[in-house]
Amino acid sequence: MEQIVKARGVRKVYRSGSVVEALRGIDLDIPAGELLAIVGPSGSGKTTLLNCLAGLETIDDGEILIGGANLAELSDDDRTEYRAKSMGFVFQAFNLLPVLSAVENVEIPMLLLGAGTKETRARALETLEMVGLADRASHRPDQLSGGEQQRVAVARALVHKPAVVWADEPTGNLDSESTQAVMELFLRLNREGQTIVMVTHNPQIAAAAARTITMRDGRIEDGGGPG
Amino acid sequence: MSPALLVLVTLFVLAYGAVGIFAVRRRLLGRLALREAVRRRGQTLLVVAGLMVGTATITAALVAADSVGDSTVDAFAYNNWGYVDLTVTATNQFFPRDVADRLATSPAVARVVDGVSAGIELVGSVSDLTARQGTSGITLVGFDPGSQRPFGAFVLTTGRETYGQDLAPGAVLLSRVLADKLQAKPGDRLHVSVEVPGSARPALPVDLRVAGIARSEGPGAYTLGSVVFAPLATAQDIAGTDLINIVRISAPGGIRDSVQAGHRAAPVLARETKSLGSPIRLAVSEVKAREVKTAKDSTVFIRALLVGMSALVVAAGAALVINLIGMLAEERRSRMGVLRALGLKRSRLVGLSVTEGAIYSLAAGVLGTGVGIAAGRLVAARFGRAFAEFAGSDFDFTFHFSLKPATLLAGFVLGTLLTLAVIFLASRRTSRMTITAAIRNLPEPPPERKSRRWRTVRLAAFGVLGVLGLTAPGFPRLAGGIALILVLSAVARSRLSSRTHSTLTGLALAGWSFAIIGGSDPNADANTFFLVFVVAMLTSVFGLTLLASANLHVAETVVGLLGRAFAGLRAILRPPLAYLSRRPVRTGLTTGVFAVIVGMLSLFAVFFVIFRPDYQRFGNGYDVRVLSTGSATVELPAEVRADVIRFIDIPTRGYIGPLKTQGGFGGGERVFVPLFQVGNDVAEAPPVRLDQRDKRFDSDRAVWEAVARNPSLVVADFGSPGQKLTLQGRDGPVTFTIAAAQAFGLLDGVFGTERTLSPFQSAPLGASVLVDVRDNADAPRVARTIERDLFGQGVDADSIQKLLDTADRANRAFFSTIDVLMRMGLVVGILSLGIVGMRVVTERRHVIGVLRAVGYKRRHVMLGLMTEATVTATIGAAVGIVVGVTMGYLFYRQSASQPGFGIDLASIGGVLGLIYLAVLLVTLGPAWRASRLSPAEAVRYSE
Ligand SMILES: Nc1ncnc2c1ncn2[C@@H]1O[C@H](COP(=O)(O)OP(=O)(O)OP(=O)(O)O)[C@@H](O)[C@H]1O
Ligand SMILES: [Mg+2]
């Protein structure tokens, strides 16, 4: 199966004040179409790993190949362009621009890729429909519930059909009902073939995932390794 | 200490006392406030600099106003009159010297005064036969050497002092101003001419010699102008009379501290004068006391102007303070949220930030007072220059800078109190937080609606007040209308989309302000006028800013269209434009600051054009002006006659005496006012073009016809059409209504018919001649030739171009006085943008992180923020230009006959260039920092 992400010996050290070794040698392959769940205790390096794999942060050692390209060798602009084209993101909070309506938020990735106005609007509405929020398109984030906001974020992550969607505790701020809705959405997307990498504390989704890796102290304790 | 200042100081003590007690009683919070205040040095500095603006501007305005006021009183009341406190005169008529002698010997009078002295004061011409220079509009001051002692000695430039007793027959002294004009030296032969109507004996040709030049002090500064000081007998010979026309009286005390004593002496003198039983009506006048009052009144306008302009800058400063408090609150939000969670009441939280703010505002107050003194000095210096331009070489006006402790205290107290009040209000707003959201630094959920009942009661109260306000003209009407619009807007809010709602409210506010300005009474007193002007200016700026912010989607649409050509640009510009249009309050605070300042500058840019003298127009086709105050006949020399196409000869009376004007400008107790006597057919060939007409007249011709018909109507170069002016006539005060004003600087004085001016027939007669020369003739040369040929008659001849240029310089110097304050305002605007930029970096870290994560490049982030700042400044500038130009047009419409409407584009262009440059400079830093934020920021919560 085609590997979307290939990580070898990845190390990450934070040096703000005290030195924290957040990642201490990570080897990981992520094949296309997989739903990978990353679990582990707080501070174990889950977020750091996700950020490094997605190219949001630079690494100190090792290499990450994405779609065949070595992330470390790309310039910031190239990495950014790559993210714009091939990745989608859902974070725990602050996903949406508070001043833009739901549909305007969703349109951003399309517009960044230079899509036309009409095509963008149509595609954004279609995606909102897919996450069940067609009727909330013109609402602003502060007029949506937390669960709805996260579903808008999911729509934004999907609208340009990225190769992989990164999600860092997307339900961390939600009540159980909303969590359920968002999780079901992710599972459905994955069934339709979307590659998803998700940090989660939710045992249910971890169980539903094709593969789960457990992190501890900057290392993959369980379920890692190439393929 | 004045009552107002006392109230301010009490408020200050109460406010800061309360803060102090809070800090002592809640020691922990007090310490926390202090910690916060000194935690980040750079930020503290910025905050203090921002809070300083209000105090600095107020102080600058007050200090400058003091300097103008004190200089004016010193010059026009004290130096002008010297030791003379009271006068006895007979309304431009002569009377026997016996009046003075009998007053001097009266024991009752002697008890209350220092000196009584007979004198003469007449307007005439002089020629220096040695230097071959002559001039008009001089005052012949006859003084009695025998009783001069209490009035002080003339100090000559050589250092010699004289009371006049040692002057040889025919010896006279010149004032410094006159000596400069004539380039006269001691020993020069002199000829003085005055034409006194109905004088008892013909004037003798008197052989005069300059015995010395008096320094501008004591009696030598008398009238501040061009004076020939002659012993009384000599003066009587020159005037051809045995009579006198003034008795000067000095009350005990020096030049500056004798007003009270003069006031006590006045009733005694009035009684004694009456008991003389003179057939001519004699009047005792407290000239110095009245001159002090007139001088003070005349600076009311300038004080109101300065305070009004500084109020605009202070309003801009308040917006800046709100911005700064917002920035501090954002930075501390999660910390404060934790304190609230731990049990700190909201009121204590407000107390905490007000305590911190109090520390800043005190520091800012001290600093601001210092900066204010410096800025006030600059403004005062501009006024000094403007006064010097107006006075030209005709007046001995020295401008000095005044620094009064009470003024500094007022500036400091007012500035810090205003700042503290704004801090308090802003803190109350920012303290409204949802604790859980604050702790986790999540966006604030929308606030809940307040109780409806209270809202209804408040709206109803405002509505009633508004309706009441409408019934009274001026400020109450303006305020009432604003209140009503706001009430209606609040009621309609739920029924309209927010865009329509803001647009309509904004339009209504701006429209109402413009309507009030358009219909405002230009003759209202200065304080009322500026109050209305400042509030209307702020309201229209507010309204148009609201309108612009609500319709920013237009900009988004425009960018959308552009986006078709430049794919991706739309994505990049969408967030910044959305932030602008959907955070209208914050956008409005910053754009409003720019709008106010650019508005004022645009208004001045209009004034520059509409008040620019138009040579062709105002000159009325004439090229040379000849003035003769010493004789009524002016024979143009043969040498120039070939160059002359036509000329007009206007008999001119040299009125010298009290002038009362409605606006206070130009008034005084002894003012030289040329009275130009025009014929009943003046409308056929008017001497001058008019600059401003009363609204009743739709043409210059209509004005002149009315002046010919109606003996209470005149044309004058001072005051505004519709105002009144009062002169002292033969039988008492005579009041005229100003029908129109001619441009100043050409023929300054009052135009009326013989009938109109008949109460002044005893004033000396002279002539004013306007000459039209051939197109290719050299007007300045013609003027020089006339002056040279007629120097024996003491005429002044100038090219009209030169006169108008001089007037233009003076006008410009006057406008430039406000520049310094406006520049302080610009600094406020730029600081605001810088602060907004910094706020963006702290506040939008997560958003920027998300944008970077989903694919915005560094330069996109930068471009977005720069666009945001530029658009903000542009909206501000656009609103400002619209407001300024509209107001300029409204003022232009009120003064009917200005040459034409226009805008000095160069000056606006310069300001805009400056603004954009500064915007670039202050946002580059924050934008660059924002672009360096890591995309991983999107994921992390805490600070
Ligand atoms: N910017 C940073 N500077 C310094 N240390 C950091 C930084 N970001 C993360 N760390 C540290 O790196 C380690 C891993 O952090 P990370 O956020 O990846 O953990 P996590 O597994 O995502 O935890 P959680 O479940 O609480 O989100 C932690 O010890 C954390 O304190
Ligand atoms: Mg994490």
| pLDDT value of position B451 | 64
> What is the H or E stretch that residue B656 is in?
strand B644-661
Indicate if ligand 1 lies below 6 Å from the C-beta of A48: yes
Say if the ipTM goes beyond 0.85: yes
Q: Determine contact, residues B891/B879, Cβ cutoff 8 Å.
A: no
- The angle that helices B346-391 and B800-816 make with each other, rounded to 10 degrees, is 160
pLDDT attached to residue A227: 43
pLDDT at B560: 67
Q: Chain A to chain B, count of Cβ pairs less than 8 Å apart?
A: 110
Average pLDDT over chain A, rounded to an integer: 87
Tokens of B462: 């405002």
Cα gap B238→A51, rounded to integer Å: 103
Return the amino acid letter for B329: A
Q: What phi, psi does B797 have (nearest 5°)?
A: -125, 130
Judged by phi (left if over 0) then psi (alpha if -120 to 50, else beta), residue A163 lies in alpha
Residue B219 CB neighbours (<10 A):
25
CA atoms within 13 A on the CB side of A33: 5
Is the CB of B936 less than 8 angstroms away from the CB of A51?
A: yes
Q: Give the pairing of strands B750-753 and B668-678.
A: parallel
Pocket flag, ligand 1, residue A84 (CB < 6 Å): no
Question: Which chain A residue's Cα is nearest to B852?
Answer: A80
Rg of chain B over Cα atoms, rounded to whole angstroms, equals 34
Asked whether B586 and B836 are in contact (CB, 8 A), the reply is yes
**Pairing between β-strand B227-231 and β-strand B133-143 as defined by DSSP bridges:** parallel
CATH superfamily of A32-58+74-222: P-loop containing nucleotide triphosphate hydrolases (3.40.50.300)
H helix and E strand count, chain A:
7, 10
* Mutation site for A-interface testing, chosen from B852, B939, B940, B943 by largest number of A Cβ within 10 Å: B939
User: Does A20 touch chain B if contact means CB atoms closer than 8 Å?
Assistant: no
- Token look-up 């938020």 returns A105
Residue A40 φ/ψ, nearest 5 degrees:
150, 165
| Nearest CA residue ID for atom 30, ligand 1 | A43
DSSP per-residue codes, A165-223: EEEESTTTTS-HHHHHHHHHHHHHHHHTT-EEEEE---HHHHHHSSEEEEEETTEEEES
Give residue limits of the domains in chain B: 1-81+292-445, 86-285, 583-614+810-943, 624-776
Ligand 2 mean position to B115 CA, how many Å?
97
Output the six-digit token pair for A103: 């549909």
List CB contacts of B857: < 8 A, sequence separation 6 or more: A76, A77, A80, A81
Residue A109 exposed, middle or buried by CB count within 10 Å (0-12, 13-18, 19+): buried
Q: What is the atom index within ligand 1 of the atom nearest the CA of A45? A: 18
CA of A212 to the centre of ligand 2 (A): 16
Is the pLDDT at A158 greater than 70? The verdict is yes
**Residues of chain A neighbouring B563 (CB-CB closer than 8 A):** 111, 117
Q: At which residue do the structure tokens 């619009």 appear?
A: B485
Q: Is the CB of residue A22 below 6 angstroms from any atom belonging to ligand 1?
A: yes
Q: How far apart (Å, rounded) are the C-alpha atoms in residues B324 and B318?
A: 10
Q: In chain B, what residues touch A56 (CB-CB under 8 Å)? A: 852-853, 934-936, 938-939
Cβ neighbours around B6 below 10 Å, total: 10
Measured from the Cβ of residue A114, the count of other Cβ atoms closer than 10 Å reads 14
Q: How far apart, in whole angstroms, are the C-alpha atoms of residue B464 and residue B190?
A: 74
Q: Does A117 reach chain B within 8 Å, measured CB to CB? A: yes
Residue B566 phi, psi dihedral angles, 5° rounding: -115, 90
Q: Could A142 and B443 be called an inter-chain contact, meaning their C-beta atoms sit closer than 8 Å? A: yes
How far apart (Å, rounded) are the C-alpha atoms in residues B800 and B623?
Answer: 5
pLDDT along chain B (943 residues), means of 10: 90 94 86 82 84 91 93 91 94 88 93 94 90 89 95 95 93 95 93 76 74 94 94 92 93 90 93 89 92 87 88 88 82 79 82 89 94 93 86 82 93 92 86 72 62 80 89 89 91 84 93 89 76 92 88 75 69 84 79 89 85 70 88 87 90 90 78 92 88 84 94 88 88 90 84 93 88 90 90 87 84 80 81 81 83 89 89 91 92 69 87 90 89 76 45
**Calpha distance B43→B50 (Å, rounded):** 11
Phi/psi at A135 (5° precision): -80, -5
Residue nearest to atom 2 of ligand 1 (CA): A14
pLDDT digits (tens, 9 = 90+) for A51-110: 999 888 888 999 999 877 888 888 888 888 888 898 999 988 778 888 889 999 999 999
Amino acid at the residue A209: A
Choose the mutation target among A91, A95, A111 for the interface with B, i.e. most B CBs under 10 Å.
A111
Burial class, B326, CB count within 10 angstroms (exposed 0-12 / middle 13-18 / buried 19+): buried
One-letter identity of residue B373: I
Name the residue ranges covered by the structural domains of chain A: 32-58+74-222
A168 CA distance to ligand 2 middle (Å): 7
Q: What count of other Cβ atoms lies within 10 Å of the Cβ of residue A48?
A: 24
Cα of first residue to Cα of last residue in chain B, in angstroms, is: 51
Torsion angle, CA of B80/B85/B90/B92, rounded to 10 degrees? 0
- The span from the CA of B100 to the CA of B892, in Å, is 52
Among the partner-chain residues A99, A104, A156, the one whose CB lies closest to the CB of B579 is A99
